[in-house]
């Protein structure tokens, strides 16, 4: 079991998450000026380096624009879509900050050949399914449909999984395991009948499909989550530092 300290995000990521939530909530209007670096340092009790890293992350996500001599302003389109930044694993595990995933247990399922292909898994395997919609304040329709599959080895703890915390973190705590690796596959798809109905988009409209596999220290996949996002409500961004 991991400790709270081990799970803590870097301070710059915490500052970025707080500012991101404020932007998405509409606390700063499109094109309005953000607080100065000095003001942010005082507000969060952090160094200028930490503030600049947080702002750089938001800039990489397309939420703000920074211009020499004119300060930092909110991008006019910055709050119109869910943006996920990837610079390290901790940020990946903070997926969809500022949004809410309301999932429900469906029960044990046996993977059909089609679903097995979607998940890169074996047809006929037994998994425990949770599914639901991810929403974000200010949006009139869901920003994602997610189906999460839990390995049958955790059948005894599945009934204890609750909303309010990511499923894989609950599996760590309830199952006494440690997630060692997360893999991610991204592809463009057309919305199927079920996704179109739940996401309120036309059938076959462009969507982004993200498959995440959570792997424990033994190399076993303990959870697979398949999320489908409407193309106009999700941007995946990353920045790579030159070394």
Contact criterion met (CB below 8 Å) for 151 and 233: no
81-90, 99-108, 125-134, 206-215, range with the lowest pLDDT: 81-90
Sign of the Cα torsion 235, 140, 78, 58 reads negative
> Domains of the chain (ranges plus CATH)?
11-74 (1.10.10.10), 90-230 (3.40.1410.10)
Distance CA 159, CA 56 (A): 41
**Span 47-73, average pLDDT:** 79
Span 215-228, mean pLDDT? 90
pLDDT at residue 90, as a whole number: 56
> Looking at per-residue confidence, does 183 or 62 come out higher?
183
Q: What phi and psi values does residue 140 have, to the nearest 5 degrees? A: -85, -10
| CA separation for the pair 59, 38 (Å, rounded) | 18
As a whole number of angstroms, the distance between CA 147 and CA 133 comes to: 9
d(CA 185, CA 189): 12
Q: What is the pLDDT of residue 173?
A: 95
Residue 64 has pLDDT above 60, yes or no: yes
* pLDDT above 80: residue 106: yes
Rounded to an integer, the average pLDDT of 119-145 is 87
């Amino acid at each position: 079991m991991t400790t709270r300290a081990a799970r803590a995000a870097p301070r710059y990521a915490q500052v970025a998450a707080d500012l991101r939530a404020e932007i998405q909530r509409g606390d700063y209007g499109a094109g309005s000026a953000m607080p100065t670096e000095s003001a942010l340092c005082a507000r969060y009790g952090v160094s200028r380096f930490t503030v600049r890293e947080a702002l750089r992350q938001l800039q990489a996500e397309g939420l703000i624009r920074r211009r020499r001599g004119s300060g930092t302003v909110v991008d006019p389109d910055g709050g119109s879509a869910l943006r996920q930044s990837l610079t390290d694993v901790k940020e990946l595990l903070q997926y969809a900050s500022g949004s809410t995933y309301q999932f429900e247990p469906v029960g044990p399922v046996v993977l059909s050949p089609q679903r097995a292909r979607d998940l890169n898994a074996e047809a006929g395997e037994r998994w425990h399914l949770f599914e639901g919609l991810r929403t974000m304040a200010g949006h009139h329709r869901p920003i994602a449909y997610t189906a999460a599959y839990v390995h049958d080895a955790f059948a005894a703890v599945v009934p204890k999984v609750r909303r309010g915390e990511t499923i894989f973190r609950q599996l760590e705590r309830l199952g006494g395991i440690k997630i060692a690796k997360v893999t991610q596959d991204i592809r463009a798809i057309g919305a199927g009948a079920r996704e179109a109905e739940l996401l309120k988009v036309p059938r076959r409209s462009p969507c982004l499909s993200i498959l995440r596999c959570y792997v424990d220290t033994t190399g076993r996949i303990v959870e697979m989550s398949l999320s489908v996002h409407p193309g106009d409500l999700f941007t995946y961004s990353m920045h790579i530092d030159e070394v």
